Amino acid sequence: MLGLFFALLPNARSDQSIPKELLGSVVRITNMEQIACGSGVLINGGVLVTNSHLLESLCQEIICADGCQVRRCRGLRVQRAAAPGQPASEEVPGFEDVRILADLPGIDLALVSSSAPDGSRPELPLALGPARGSVMAIGFPGCGDLALQVGQIETFDPIRLYTSALGNYGSSGGALFDASNALVGVVDQAADLRSALKGKLLRSDFPLSGINAGLLAQALKNPENSREIEIKALLDYYRAALLNRHGLSRLIGGMLFSSDVGRLLSAESRRTTSLDTLKLIGAANVYPGQLFAQNQPVPGNDHLYDLLETLVLANSLENYGANHKFLMPINAAALLKNLEHSAHQRAQIDQLVNLITEFNRQEYPGFQLYLLELGLLLAFLLIVLTPLWAFSLGLVWAGEPGGFLWRLFTICWVGLLWPISLMLWWIFKKVRS
């Protein structure tokens, strides 16, 4: 039924009816002051899924207990809309003071539990297989009326799926459903940087991406393991998607990856009680070769610490390349010696060395050095080519017969298409003479 619905309404908003369980599951989230807003998905009568960045901005107060292992959010306001094209007007009770079940800032996912769960509401099915085919995005773009958009899943990686369904700011936290009514993703951002900038500047809709429902299923099943889930997801993304990119795609992807890791580490510094973990987070912005240069003891059998250490290394490699200092490659023998003198298990040593080996195969300098190279190229263009460009336009102005307006027109088209236009102008000049 929904497949026919998709076929009849390609890539367009619709005010036609949608299945009741889908309509009632997508809500608008704001706070009592209504300064900001976003969307969310009620997985069942008592669990609300949204984005971590929305929770951080909308919670009027976040209360920590037991060393911040238990966190509560106060001040949320959750509302439903009766139909597409209508505003959110029906209050959903039980979210004024909620427990945060899981907060995964590294992949921008958060789960909270209602204080007044509705047991009559069925649980939404989650699509756990490969993401493909038609998709429908439901949310509150622009914090306005409930809207739906139909599109296709263009591609996916271990964290996100990227669609052609359109949305806007306010769609974040909304739902992506496949043709079988299963939740396939949770909207979190624009599908690409260009679309995000265009939407910001022109206030136009843009293609949406969403967090894979498989990660949501893991967080729902084991919310106490949410830290491990997001670290593994980021490492899987790094190995499976980012390491194989090149050029500007690698540069932009690396910067976004570093931003995700930064959010995770910032949250980890607030919720951890381990001094070793805090030291590791404090060393997150050093060159890869310096991470293990201090011969500091580490937990000998701490799986979560090992995962976090591997992620910190991946982030450092992406930032600075496989270097010990600026333009000084890592000495593999010295690295192994430092690792073996620490309390690292053999399996973790192999994991770290293998990651550096994988990175070196790509011959990528790290995005900071890559940006430096681009900056030097731009400086060369400005210092060397700009005077040549200006000198060329001076020659055209001096050598072109005709009045002021004609000369102005000539140097405009020559300047825009330079340097090929300069050769064309010279040929035209010879032909005319």
Both tokens assigned to 268: 């980890």
Strands 70-74 and 88-91: unpaired
Structural tokens at position 247: 């050029």
> How is residue 399 written in tokens?
């050598």
Task: Give domain limits for the chain.
Answer: 2-216, 241-365, 380-432
**What's the whole-model pTM score?**
0.80
Please check whether residue 161 is in contact with residue 188, taking contact to mean a CB–CB distance below 8 angstroms.
no
| pLDDT at residue number 40 | 95
Neighbours of 179 (CB within 10 A): 19
Architecture of domain 2-216: Beta Barrel (2.40)
SS3 readout for 405-427: HHHHHHHHHHHHCCCHHHHHHHH
Q: How many angstroms separate the CA atoms of 192 and 94, rounded?
A: 35
Whether the CB-CB separation of 84 and 15 falls below 8 Å is answered with: yes
Q: What is the pLDDT of residue 187?
A: 95
Question: In Å, how far are 42, 260, 268, 298, 417 from 264, measured between CA atoms?
Answer: 25, 6, 6, 20, 46
Give CA–CA dist 274/104, Å, rounded. Answer: 19
Q: Give every CB contact of residue 181 below 8 A, 6+ residues apart in sequence.
A: 2, 19, 21, 22, 125
Q: How many CB atoms lie within 10 A of CB 363?
A: 9
Contact (Cβ atoms closer than 8 angstroms) between residue 351 and residue 313: no
Question: pLDDT tens digits for the chain (433 residues)?
Answer: 444 444 434 444 344 456 777 788 999 999 877 778 899 999 987 899 999 999 888 887 777 766 566 788 888 999 999 888 899 989 998 888 889 999 999 999 999 998 888 776 778 889 887 778 899 999 999 888 999 999 999 999 999 999 999 999 889 999 999 988 899 999 998 877 777 777 777 778 899 999 999 999 999 999 989 999 999 999 999 999 998 888 888 888 888 999 999 999 998 888 887 888 888 888 888 888 777 765 455 555 588 889 999 999 999 988 888 777 776 677 777 777 777 777 778 888 888 888 888 888 887 877 777 677 677 777 877 888 888 888 888 888 888 887 888 888 888 888 888 888 888 888 887 777 7
Residues, the chain, total? 433
Please enumerate in sequence order all residues whose Cβ is within 8 A of that of 405, keeping only pairs 6 or more positions apart, or say none.
none
Report the C-alpha gap between 256 and 250 in whole angstroms: 10
In angstroms, the CA 365 to CA 318 distance is: 8
CB 366 within 8 A of CB 325: no
pLDDT at 10: 42
C-alpha 327/C-alpha 339 separation (Å) is: 22
Which of 116, 121, 69 is CA-nearest to residue 97?
A: 116
End-to-end CA distance of the chain: 73
Distance of CA 266 to the CA centre of its chain: 16
Q: What pLDDT is attached to residue 101?
A: 92
Q: Are 18 and 84 in contact (CB under 8 A)?
A: yes
Residues 343, 276: Cα–Cα separation, whole Å: 12
Distance CA 315, CA 319 (A): 6
